[in-house]
Amino acid sequence: MAKSESSGDTGRPWQSYHTVYTNAKAGMEGVDKEKVQRIVYEMSKGSKYFENEERKEAYIKQKIENMQDQIAKLTDADISHYQKVADKRILELEATRDLTRIWLHVDMDAFYAAVETLSNPSLNGKPMAVGSMSMISTANYEARRFGVRAAMPGFIARKLCPELIFVPVDFKKYTHYSDLTRKVFQNYDPNFMAASLDEAYLDITNACYERDATGGEIAEELRKSVYEETGLTCSAGVGPNRLLAKVCSDINKPNGQFVLPNDRMAVMAFISSLPIRKIGGIGKVTEHLLRDAFGIATCEEMLQNSGFLCALFSRSSADFFLSVGLGLGRTDAPEVKLRKSISNERTFSATDDEAFLYQKLADLAEMLSVDMKKEGLCGRTLTLKLKTASFEVRTRAVTLQKYIFSSEDILKHASKLLKAELPISLRLIAASMGYWSVCSLLTDQITELWNFKF
DNA sequence: TACATACAC
DNA sequence: AATGGTGTATGTA
């Protein structure tokens, strides 16, 4: 092994700056990851953002070390106890396996970028990103070849790809096209579950029976129909549950599909070598933690470490990890979920000017109140989120006696929360309201007030 | 209930 | 010069 490959190398500092940008993503196969990582590091190094990322990394490292200590402290008796717990739980989870439904996950290809190209065909074939110098929402496939991707700041993207074209976000446009795709989804599952503007889950079990078609045939037909209605391509995954369908839709992206049959053996074979990071819900931190504390990289290894997982994690986390190892996921009909919170936040250049901060807060309170009135909501828990100039995030909350929704009430309470933090230099303020479960009774009164005011 | 973290898009 | 906005879930105290 070359000496530079060893850990603790000081010659290549960029290797220790872990961003999310080098994570495998569709369209990024041929990318020179080393180069991308070096440029991201060079552009970030020394910034407040970078320093905060380093603090976060150190915190995670600490957490991993704590976990390693806990593992080391397990006695043989503990280990055999937790293995029994795990084996029992695996059987219980296995008993919930449902192979009777066929789920399809649709994912529009580079959605925002594709919509922008549709409305400006001269962008076709050129590297392009939707977003700004501070943040990119979506990059088209030409840009991805340079390592440019969503969630990357634009100024770094431009360094990676100097000819990159920037297009500002235009949600109205994306919502319009999203609605067109949803009309198509409706034909295959009237109760389809929209996951975002560009993603949806469909239970196509009935569609398969009605049309006497396989899941793969339905997926082909649906993608063709989406293309005809919108001029946009999408990818699809078909599998026995939502978790697996989602993984599958990523496999032949863009403009492709992958079918995982409703067969236990096929599922287990599919899941066995699958990197855990491919699973929705397992992000950068969990991947890191499971790898460094347990040596887990693939879903199969979740089962091999089942005893340790049950020993070290809460019931719900352990259940999730074991389910992943078994290739289980939800197959039930999507329940109608009411939203639990509503928020507004804005980033600005960091300042400790109190008048400015209060003005920002007033603007947010006003925007939040407008949104709440639009939705007919009122709440009694108000949360103020602050991001300091050094990127530290704090939240401060109060739960009130009565439900509120007016900008005056929001501002009155939010100001108190802000005041307690002064003096402070901030780059972001957010105001959020939640917890209106018992509040539906008040809807009529709100409507009345709303009508009275206008 | 309050707060911090992790995650998704 | 410069690293988003909105919402959910969960662990812990």
Residues in Cβ contact with A37 at an 8 Å cutoff, skipping those fewer than 6 apart: A14, A15, A17, A19, A21, A22
* Residue-level pLDDT at A449: 57
Residue A2, pLDDT score: 38
The parent domain of residue A392 ranges over 341-453
Q: Are residues A256 and A277 in the same domain?
A: no
In terms of domains, do A438 and A374 share one? Answer: yes
Positions of A marked active-site: 199
pLDDT for residue A175: 98
For residues A225 and A19, the model is more confident at: A225
Q: Residue A434's domain is classified under what CATH number?
A: 3.30.1490.100
The span from the CA of A294 to the CA of A71, in Å, is 9
In this predicted structure, the answer to whether residue A9 has a pLDDT above a threshold of 90 is: no
User: Are the CB atoms for A207 and A188 separated by under 8 Å?
Assistant: yes
Structure tokens at A373: 């009135």
Cα distance between residue A249 and residue A104, in whole Å:
8
pLDDT tier, A431 (very low <50, low <70, confident <90, very high otherwise): very high
Into how many domains does chain A fold? 3
Instruction: Mean pLDDT check: name the lowest of A25-39, A88-102, A294-308, A361-375.
Output: A25-39
User: Is residue A23 included in any domain, yes or no?
Assistant: no
pLDDT tier for residue A233 given thresholds of 50, 70 and 90: very high
What is the predicted pLDDT for the residue at A437?
A: 59
The beta-strand segments (E) located in A183-271 are: 193-196, 199-203, 234-239, 257-259
Structure tokens at A366: 């006003």
Residue A222 confidence (pLDDT): 98
Claim to verify: residue A293 and residue A350 sit in the same structural domain: no
The pLDDT mean for chain A works out to 94
Report the pLDDT averaged over residues A44-69. 96
**pLDDT, tens digit (0-9, with 9 covering 90-100), for A395-423:** 999 999 999 999 999 999 999 999 999 99
Query: What percent of chain A stands above pLDDT 70?
Result: 94
Residue A5: its pLDDT value, please? 38
What is the C-alpha separation between A22 and A66, in angstroms, rounded?
27
Q: Residue A437 has what DSSP assignment? A: G
CA A128, C1' C5: Å apart?
A: 21
What pTM was computed for the model? 0.94
Q: CA gyration radius for chain A?
A: 25
Residue closest to A109 by CA, chosen among A283, A274, A231, A245: A231
Q: Are residues A345 and A439 in the same domain?
A: yes
Verify that A351 and A445 share a domain, yes or no.
yes
Residue A134 in any domain: the answer is no
For A16, the 3-state DSSP assignment is helix
Does residue A163 lie within any of the structural domains? no
**Nearest residue (Cα to C1') for C11?**
A314
- The mean per-residue pLDDT over the stretch A297-310 comes to 98
Q: Hunting for tokens 């039930």 — which residue is that?
A: A332
Torsions phi, psi for A431 (to 5 deg)? -125, 135
Protein A67 CA to nucleic acid C10 C1', in Å? Answer: 18
pLDDT score, position A3: 36
pLDDT at A451 over 80: no
Residue A382 counted as domain residue:
yes
Same domain as A416, residue A382? yes
d(CA A244, CA A258): 11
Of the pLDDT bands very low, low, confident and very high (cuts 50, 70, 90), residue A143 is: very high
State which of A241, A262, A283 marks the end of a domain. Answer: A262
Mean pLDDT of the region A130-141: 98
The answer to whether strand C lies under 7 Å from the CB of residue A43 is: yes
A363 and A384 both lie in a single domain: yes
Tell me whether residue A198 is exposed, middle or buried, using C-beta atoms within 10 angstroms of its C-beta: 0 to 12, 13 to 18, 19 or more.
buried
Mean pLDDT is lowest, of A14-23, A132-141, A397-406, for A14-23
User: For strand C, which nucleotides have at least one atom less than 7 Å from a protein CB?
Assistant: 1-12
Q: With beta carbons less than 8 A apart as the criterion, state whether A71 and A312 touch.
A: yes
Out of A206, A239, A262, a domain closes at A262
* Burial status of residue A246 (CB atoms within 10 A of its CB: 0-12, 13-18, 19 or more): buried
Judge whether A417 and A359 are in contact, CB under 8 Å. no
A129 part of a folded domain:
no
Closest nt to residue A137, judged CA to C1': C4
Q: What is the pLDDT of residue A396?
A: 98
State residue A1's pLDDT score.
34
Q: Give me the CA A55–C1' B3 separation in Å, rounded.
A: 19
Q: In sequence order, what are the beta bridge partners of A196?
A: A199
- Report if residue A150 sits inside a domain: no
User: Can you tell me the distance from the alpha carbon of A293 to that of A301, in angstroms, rounded to the nearest whole number?
Assistant: 13
Residue A173: in which H helix or E strand, if any?
Answer: helix A171-186
At A450, the pLDDT band (50, 70, 90 cuts) reads low
Q: Which residue has the higher pLDDT, A209 or A338?
A: A209
Distance A26 CA to C4 C1' (A): 22
Spatial separation of the C-alpha atoms in residues A67 and A61, rounded to whole Å: 10
CB A446 within 8 A of CB A376: yes
The answer to whether A390 and A48 have CB atoms below 8 angstroms apart is yes
Q: In chain A, what is the straight-line distance between the N-terminal and C-terminal CA atoms, in Å?
A: 74
In a domain, residue A354? The reply is yes
Give me the pLDDT at residue A215, please. Answer: 98
Strands (E), A9-132: 103-108, 128-131
Residues A398, A319 share a domain? no
pLDDT one-digit tens code per residue, A374-399: 999 999 999 999 999 999 999 999 99
Nearest nucleotide, C1' to the C-alpha of A44? C3
More confident residue, A453 or A56: A56
Q: Cβ of residue A394 near strand B, that is under 7 Å?
A: yes
pLDDT bin (cut points 50, 70, 90) of residue A445 is low
Nucleotide minimizing C1' to CA distance for residue A281: B7
Evaluate if the CB of A13 falls below 7 Å from strand B. no
3-state secondary structure A367-411: HHHHHHHHHCCCEEEEEEEEEECCCCEEEEEEEEEEEECCHHHHH
* A284 and A246 within one domain: no
Q: Is the CB of A395 under 7 A from strand B?
A: yes
Is the same domain home to A366 and A449?
yes
Confidence of residue A128 (pLDDT cuts 50, 70, 90): very high
Q: Are residues A254 and A279 in the same domain?
A: no
Report the b/e string of A287-317 with b at 16+ CB within 10 A.
bbbbbbbbebebbbbbbebbbbbbbbbeeee
Q: Verify that A449 and A349 share a domain, yes or no.
A: yes
Give the separation between CA A58 and CA A40, rounded to whole angstroms: 19
Nucleotide closest to residue A150 (CA–C1'): B9
* Closest residue (Cα, C1') to B3: A395
Number of Cβ within a 10 Å radius of residue A35: 13
pLDDT exceeding 90 applies to what percent of chain A?
A: 87
∠ CA A304-A307-A310, rounded to 5°: 120
Is A402's CB less than 7 Å from nucleic acid strand C?
A: no
Contact positions of strand B to protein Cβ (< 7 A):
1-9
- Mark which of A218, A240, A262 sits at the end of a domain: A262
Residue A144 lies inside a defined structural domain of this protein: no
